């Protein structure tokens, strides 16, 4: 993982608890983007889901070709910032980039849910149900 002042490797490890992060995971570009978002808000980012091994990805209902399985994706929240506000910022800042950007809203808690960003190399946008 690229050295940075905000994130540790453990934050990106698969939640299965059995596997290790592959070499080069998370991607340098993803780390750079998350650091920029962290600096913009001057608030901690909590990674809900980073790398996922194929087995864990299947278990949580991830897409067969999920960017999480190659280490180029993160689902996250910014502590103390509404998820919709983070999503709008990510769209404004990175909307022209070849990234996957999505939101999972929690309508009962505006600070819940998460924003998904990945550095897939082509533009993709969606909303989780």
Domain ranges of the chain: 9-127
pLDDT digits (tens, 9 = 90+) for 19-32: 999 999 999 999 99
3-state secondary structure of 101: strand
* pLDDT of res. 102: 98
The class (CATH top level) of 9-127 is alpha beta
Mean per-residue pLDDT over the chain, rounded:
97
The answer to whether the CB of 66 falls within 8 A of the CB of 57 is yes
* pLDDT of res. 58: 97
| Distance set, CA 68 to CA 5, 40, 86, 103, 120 (Å) | 22, 24, 20, 15, 10
Give the Cα-Cα-Cα angle 17, 5, 1 (nearest 5 degrees). 45
List the one residue out of 46, 47, 70 whose CA is nearest residue 57: 70
pTM over the 0.85 mark: yes
Report the pLDDT averaged over residues 49-73.
96
């Amino acid at each position: 993982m690229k050295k940075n002042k905000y994130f540790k490797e453990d934050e990106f490890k698969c939640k299965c608890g059995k596997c290790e992060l592959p070499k080069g995971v998370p991607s340098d570009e993803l780390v750079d983007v998350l650091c920029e978002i962290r600096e913009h808000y001057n608030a901690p980012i909590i990674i809900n889901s980073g790398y996922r091994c194929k087995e864990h990805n299947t278990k949580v209902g991830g897409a067969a070709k999920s960017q999480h399985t190659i280490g180029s994706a993160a689902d996250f929240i910014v502590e103390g910032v509404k998820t919709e506000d983070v999503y709008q910022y990510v769209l404004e800042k990175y909307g022209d980039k070849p990234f996957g950007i999505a939101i999972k809203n929690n309508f009962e808690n505006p600070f819940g849910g998460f924003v998904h960003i990945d550095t897939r190399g082509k533009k993709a946008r969606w909303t989780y149900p």
